[in-house]
Amino acid sequence: MNLIDHLNWRYATKVFDPKKQLNQEDVEYLKEAIRLSVSSYGLQLYKVLIIENDEIRAALRKASWDQSQITDASQLFVFCNYTLDYDRHIDDFIQRIMTAQGNSSEGIKEYGEFIKTSIAKMSAEDRKSWSEKQTYLALNNLLIACAELKIDACPMEGFNNQAYNQILGLDELGLNAAVIAPVGYRSASDKTQNRRKVRKTKEELFQTA
């Protein structure tokens, strides 16, 4: 199957089969797909938590308006943006460049200072919005990789992120839960899977100037 076939197959799964679990090989594949995601400047200013613990997920379900996907899916991916210590993350990024590419030129170091200056110029609100948006880019890689492997997923914003931050101890880590995605296999009882996919036509969606 090609990419378009995979994208036509996937849908936001509403009911997961709790008896069906991902194997570790597939989990590693999904992790690698997320790792290779694009991000602004290449910084990857986020961390992805993969929640499998039943007790933690039960608590998170309460903070997600009791949506069953949180506990019934095989895993719950929580995409968290960093909220503190941007300069340190940038220094780490520059070090990774020098290690991976064997490049320790002044130009690379100047690039790091340029990024620091650019981020420092943002207002607190703009910086928050920008950092949260990065997690959605990574989420998209997860959704596409899931579709390729015929694994179901449901991207979700319907949760109390402050409660998530508290339950997962994210504030202390300088992290914020931005978007989540339960991942697993659809239940035969999920009637949503039989609905015809609804999207705008190409003529409605695109305009060439």
The answer to whether 37 and 77 have CB atoms below 8 angstroms apart is no
Q: Is residue 112 in some structural domain?
A: no
Q: Is residue 86 in some structural domain?
A: no
pLDDT of 181 strictly over 90: yes
Measured in degrees and rounded to the nearest 5, phi and psi for residue 194 equal: -95, -5
Helices (H), the chain: 3-9, 24-35, 54-62, 69-72, 86-101, 106-120, 124-148, 161-167, 202-205
The amino acid at residue 173 is: L
Task: Report the number of distinct structural domains present in the chain.
Answer: 1
pLDDT of 51 strictly over 70: yes
In the chain, pLDDT over 90 holds for what percent of residues? 97
d(CA 75, CA 152): 11
Taking only the tens place, the pLDDT of each residue in 86-143 is: 999 999 999 999 999 988 888 999 999 999 999 999 999 999 999 999 999 999 999 9
Domain hosting residue 165, numbered range? 3-81+123-205
CATH at residue 58? 3.40.109.10
pLDDT of 1 strictly over 70: no
Average pLDDT over residues 185-189: 98
Q: What is the pTM of this model?
A: 0.96
Q: Is residue 105 in some structural domain?
A: no
Taking only the tens place, the pLDDT of each residue in 163-177 is: 999 999 999 999 999
Helix axis angle, 106-120 to 86-101, nearest 10°: 160
Q: Is residue 96 in some structural domain?
A: no
d(CA 43, CA 40): 6
Q: Is residue 156 in some structural domain?
A: yes
Q: Is residue 24 in some structural domain?
A: yes
